[in-house]
């Protein structure tokens, strides 16, 4: 459970840094995401989730 909370904190920190460093770029990225087709968003979400699980697995196996 502590790992989950730490991961959520890390995700918030990274997102915050991106918004602070590149506010206009993040605004454009959010606009593009909001206007993307649902199927495309779903595919990107599934790919991101699988890649994230792969990274977690690699870290747990070899870290």
Amino acid 1: pLDDT: 83
Q: How far apart are CA 34 and CA 32, in angstroms?
A: 5
User: How distant, in Å, are the alpha carbons of 13, 23, 55 from that of 20?
Assistant: 10, 6, 26
Percentage of the chain modeled with pLDDT above 90: 89
Percentage of the chain modeled with pLDDT above 70: 100
Amino acid 9: pLDDT: 96
**Mean pLDDT for the stretch of residues 40-58:** 95
């Amino acid at each position: 459970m502590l790992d989950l909370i730490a991961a959520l904190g890390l995700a918030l920190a990274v997102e915050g840094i991106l918004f602070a460093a590149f506010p206009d770029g993040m605004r454009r990225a959010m606009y593009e995401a909001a206007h993307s087709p649902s199927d495309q968003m779903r595919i990107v979400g599934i790919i991101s989730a699988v890649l994230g699980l792969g990274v977690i697995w690699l870290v747990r196996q070899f870290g």
